Each structure stands twice: as C-alpha cells, then as structure tokens.
Structure 1
C-alpha cells in the first residue's frame, strides 16, 4: 500500500475514518468498495498505520477464536467498543 510520506489527513481519529475501517474490514463489503477505501486510506500515513494495526488485531482475534462466531448483539457491542479504543503501537 503506497502512501504519501509524512502526509496526515487531519481526520485520522474521526468517527468517519473509523467507519471506513469498519466498512473495509466487513466481509460483506464489495471488492470494488474495499479497493476504493484502501486507496483513500493510503493517502494518509497515520491512517495507513492504524489500518495495519487494526488488521493485525483482527487476525490475532480470529486465530485465537478458532472461527467461533459471537451472537450478533455481542458482535455489535464489541465493534462499538473497539471503535472507541485507540491502540498505539510503539517501536
């Protein structure tokens, strides 16, 4: 994923960007829409890094849960809590 070095969109922590992350990572999002979102996110280094961290966390959760599905109401509650939480990775 290419992104502008040092470029920041200024909306990195906004609800709109978080909604894009959720839409992108939703398995029901079309490939065309996912590509469109990825291109938009790639324009901002901070958003790109947040997306990478989100994908790592989701992959770890999938691996740990062994494919188990939470009831829909619980999934919605977890999604809301995740969207309110900001993870900072330090290197």
Structure 2
C-alpha cells in the first residue's frame, strides 16, 4: 500500500516514540527511503523530540495529553492547490 506524504508525516511521532507496530514502521520507513522531503521532515522531528526530552527532563506526558496530541497531529492537513479541469480549458 502506497502512502502519501501527509499520512507519513502524521505518523512520524508514533514512529519516533516506538508506538507503531512493525508493519506500520516498515511501511513508513519504505516511504521515507524513497522520499527525501519526508526523511528530512523525520530528521527535523527527531531533533525536536530530542530537544524536548533534554529540556523536559525526560518527564512522560499524561496519557490524556498524549492522546489529545495524537488526535491533533492526525487532524493536521497539508493543503495543496489543485487546478480544476475547467480552469485549464479557458
């Protein structure tokens, strides 16, 4: 199953936190192996995670906060402009 970049980036934190199953991790890794923008975004998120870990003393967020953040990450949508066929006919 091919993943688009939006789906991959929505699950990057799950991958970084080791919270996805092996099959999901393999699909994400396969996509990133062939998509330099996604691997770059993964690297940035990895650095942010490391910085947060160092600055927050390794404290673990409450499960309710983690769940809310996961929902918000998944709701984030990348919007791209798509021309309609009518616009190109004019």
TM-score normalised by length of structure 1: 0.60
Gaps spanning 5+ residues in structure 1: where?
A: 1-8, 87-91
TM-aligned CA distance change 1:56 to 1:85, over 3 Å: farther
Alignment-derived partner of residue 5 in structure 1:
none
Alignment-derived partner of residue 11 in structure 1:
4
Greater mean alpha carbon deviation, residues 46-55 or residues 76-85: 76-85
TM-score normalised by length of structure 2: 0.60
Aligned length: 76
Q: How does 1:14-53 map to 2 (within 5 A)?
A: 14=6, 16-29=7-20, 34=25, 37-53=28-44
Counterpart secondary structure, 2:44: helix
Q: CA deviation at 1:31?
A: 6.5
CA RMSD of aligned residues (A): 3.1
Gaps spanning 5+ residues in structure 2: where?
A: 79-90
Is the 2:9–2:42 Cα contact (8 Å) retained in structure 1?
no
Alignment-derived partner of residue 58 in structure 1:
49
Q: Distance in 1 between matches of 2:26 and 2:58?
A: 25
Q: CA deviation at 1:23?
A: 3.3
Larger relative helix fraction = 2
| Greater radius of gyration (CA) | 2
